A and B are shown apart, each in its own frame.
Chain A
Amino acid sequence: QVQLVQSGAEVKKPGASVRVSCKTSGYTFNTYALNWVRQAPGQGLEWLGWISSHSGGTQIPQKFHDRVTMTRDTSTSTVYMELKMLRSDDTAVYYCARDQGVRGVYHPSSFDYWGQGTPVIVSS
Chain B
Amino acid sequence: DIQMTQSPSSVSASVGDRVTISCRASQDISTWVAWYQQKSGKAPQLLIYAASTLQSGVPSRFSGSGSGTEFTLTISSLQPEDFATYYCQQATGFPPALTFGGGTTVEIK
* B59 at interface, CB cutoff 8 A: no
Interface residues of B in 62-91 (CB under 8 A from A): 87, 89, 91
Once the chains are docked, how many angstroms separate the CA of A35 from the CA of B46? 14
CA distance A114 to B89 in the complex (A): 15
Q: Are B87 and A45 in contact (CB under 8 A)?
A: yes
Report chain B residues within 8 Å CB of A112: 46, 55
Residue of B1, B91, B97, B103 touching A110 (CB-CB under 8 A) = B91
| Beta-carbon contact of B43 and A102 below 8 Å | no
Interface residues contributed by chain B, number (CB under 8 Å) = 24
B50 interface residue per 8 A CB criterion: yes
B75 to chain A, nearest CB (A): 19
- Report yes or no: A50 in contact with B96, Cβ–Cβ below 8 A: yes
Note all chain B residues with C-beta closer than 8 A to A69.
none
- Taking A50-B96, A50-B98 as known contacts, 4 extra A-B pairs with beta carbons closer than 8 A to each other, sorted by chain A number, are A44-B101, A44-B102, A109-B34, A111-B44
Q: Residues of B at under 8 Å CB distance from A? A: 1, 32, 34, 36, 43-46, 49-50, 55, 87, 89, 91, 94-103
